[in-house]
Amino acid sequence: MQPLCITAFTATCAAGAGRAELLDALTAGRSGLRPNDFGREPLATWVGRVAGVEQAPLPVEFSAYECRNNRLAWLGLQRDGFLDAVVAARRRYGAQRLALVLGTSTSSIGATEEAYTRLTPAGEFPEDLRYQAVHTPHSTGEFLQRVLGAGSVGVTVATACSSSAKAFAQGARLLEMGIADAVVVGGVDSLCGSVLFGFNSLALVSPEPCRPFDAARSGISIGEAAAFALLVRAGNDGGGAPRLLGYGESSDAHHMSTPHPSGRGARLAMNDALNRASLATRDVQYVNLHGTASLKNDEIEAEAIAEMFPASTHASSTKGWTGHTLGAAGALEAVITLLSLESGLMPGNLNSRQLDPACGPQVRLANARGAVRHAMSNSFGFGGSNCVLLFAGAEAA
């Protein structure tokens, strides 16, 4: 495919609000995970909770969209001049040529959960939560469409943990086909009861901070994040911008909540991304792995990486810093991958002490530095949905 330029990008998660804080936390090995204090009866686990969401109401004109997820989206837009960059793109191309593709898994479900805890004696939602705008999966997408003034496509991708990686792929196609001239892609997911207790019911939640690829890993730590990127075709505003070189998508066709035992879909998606970018694995210096710290995912992903990549490739999961931010993970880790391309920092696997024997030499415990020209980000989700993104730094493409 024709490379696309990423003219602005930002992320807000437990490890940091905005690129500078996030890069600083990555460099210093400072995790954003903390003992779970979310909800009325907090599960005994660790979470990547973003500070200050409770104290940051939406502007009054957007009050119909009040909920944790939309607050987090709003906070995320304020960093790194992202909102200004979108406004400039809207002026340049016109609102009708600005699209939004948002990935999320649970969107505003926290508001629906809250309504069920405050039903009236007649069994109805409380007055303040009777707006359809926060009881539907497109809530955050619709909110962002309005905030950004995006008059072209405005759609939510909800494919669980691959959602916001797939937003990049969908956005890329909109540019390729000339449907839009600038696309805001991103992911927003926030803590809620459904995911904490739901993943717990599947015995996937760790009682300690998650340890991706550790031989003694004990499950995931759930996090929350808002991450965004602005995509345009190369030649438009692209000077000095990193590039999206390719995307790869596949389905496991195996099981709703367990990855294919030989990583069939993961390998298909990685190869699809490499083919679309006309690159080989030896060209990729850093891979940001899905690496949830679940037993199955990490074993299968490690095996696939060990077979496909040369020993020189540095691979890691950054979920030890951020937690697994579910539908936001694809966009958050795309931002981390872009930070790696920009800074040369290749993160290790924070919290992990002894690598699983399935890991090849690619998976590293410690941070490293080097010239990162091409970098990949993996996102594999429930329902067997896989998406892999391949990026280049500003000079390489």
By CB under 8 A, tell whether 268 contacts another protein. yes
Please report how close the Cβ of residue 201 comes to another protein at its closest, in angstroms.
4
Q: Which of 24, 57, 84, 116 binds another protein (CB under 8 A)?
A: 116
Q: Which of 164, 250, 288, 377 binds another protein (CB under 8 A)?
A: 250
Please report how close the Cβ of residue 260 comes to another protein at its closest, in angstroms.
9
Annotation says 290 is catalytic: yes
Which member of 5, 67, 161, 192 is catalytic? 161
* From 37-45, 182-190, 291-299, 300-308, span contacting another protein (CB under 8 A): 37-45
Please identify, using beta-carbon distances, which residue of 26 and 169 lies nearer to another protein.
Answer: 169
Q: Which of 177, 235, 311, 357 binds another protein (CB under 8 A)?
A: 177
SS3 string of the chain?
A: CCCEEEEEEEEEECCEECHHHHHHHHHHCCCCCEECCCCCCCCCCEEECCCCCCCCCCCHHHHHHCCHHHHHHHHHHCHHHHHHHHHHHHHHHCHHHEEEEEECCCCCHHHHHHHHHCCCCCCCCCHHHCCHHHCCCCHHHHHHHHHHCCCCCEEEECCHHHHHHHHHHHHHHHHHCCCCCEEEEEEEECCCHHHHHHHHHCCCECCCCCCCCECCCCCECEECEEEEEEEEECCCCCCCCCEEEEEEEEECCCCCCCCCCCCHHHHHHHHHHHHHHCCCHHHCCEEECCCCCCHHHHHHHHHHHHHHCCCCCEEECCHHHHCECHHHHHHHHHHHHHHHHHHCEECCCCCCCCECCCCCCCECCCCEECCCCEEEEEEEEHHHEEEEEEEECCCCC
Positions 147 through 166 that interact with another protein (CB under 8 A): 151-160, 166
* From 8-16, 21-29, 38-46, 337-345, span contacting another protein (CB under 8 A): 38-46
By CB under 8 A, tell whether 393 contacts another protein. no
Which member of 260, 314, 324, 374 is catalytic? 324
Please report how close the Cβ of residue 192 comes to another protein at its closest, in angstroms.
8
Annotation says 161 is catalytic: yes
By CB under 8 A, tell whether 262 contacts another protein. no
Please report how close the Cβ of residue 10 comes to another protein at its closest, in angstroms.
24
Q: Which of 223, 246, 259, 265 binds another protein (CB under 8 A)?
A: 265
By CB under 8 A, tell whether 380 contacts another protein. no
Active site residues: 161, 290, 324
Residues near another protein, by CB under 8 A? 39, 41, 43, 96, 105, 109, 112-113, 115-117, 119, 123-125, 130-132, 135-138, 141-142, 145, 151-160, 166, 170, 173-174, 176-179, 193-194, 197-202, 249-257, 264-265, 268, 381-385, 387
